[in-house]
Amino acid sequence: MWNPFFFVAFPPQVFGFLSGLTMLASMPLQFLNVPMYNYIAANDDFAVMNYIFVGLFIGFLSLPVVVYIILIKSPEKNKQRYIKNISTNEPSSTTL
């Protein structure tokens, strides 16, 4: 889910680095699956995990909103992806 955001928001030269960094950062969270399952099995209580997943879902859902704001509403904030046309000082469709 994060890879398209990295590709759009940052220069293509750092895409591999950011993608790998994201995978490294997510690995500890993947190891939480077993303790979460053990908690649910021991307590027979899904409410706590449901609240955690709702918080994660809201966090993931905010990502497309941020991308929309950066790219559509204010393309001038994304200067790394566009070359300015010297005569009109407008971003051209040619990407770096």
Number of other residues whose CB lies within 10 A of the CB of residue 64: 12
The count of C-alpha atoms lying within 13 angstroms of the C-alpha of 38, restricted to the half-sphere facing its C-beta, is 5
What is the tens place of the pLDDT at every residue in 22-68? 888 788 778 888 888 888 889 888 888 889 889 888 887 888 888 77
Say if residue 93's pLDDT is above 60.
no
Distance from chain centroid for Cα 69: 13
Q: Is the pTM of this model over 0.75?
A: no
Q: What is the DSSP letter of 85?
A: P
Q: Work out the end-to-end distance of the chain between its first and last CA atoms, rounded to an integer number of angstroms.
A: 23
What is the tens place of the pLDDT at every residue in 50-60? 898 898 888 87
Number of other residues whose CB lies within 10 A of the CB of residue 55: 10
Phi, psi (degrees; rounded to nearest 5) at 10: -125, 165
Look over the chain and give the mean of its residue pLDDT values, rounded to a whole number: 76
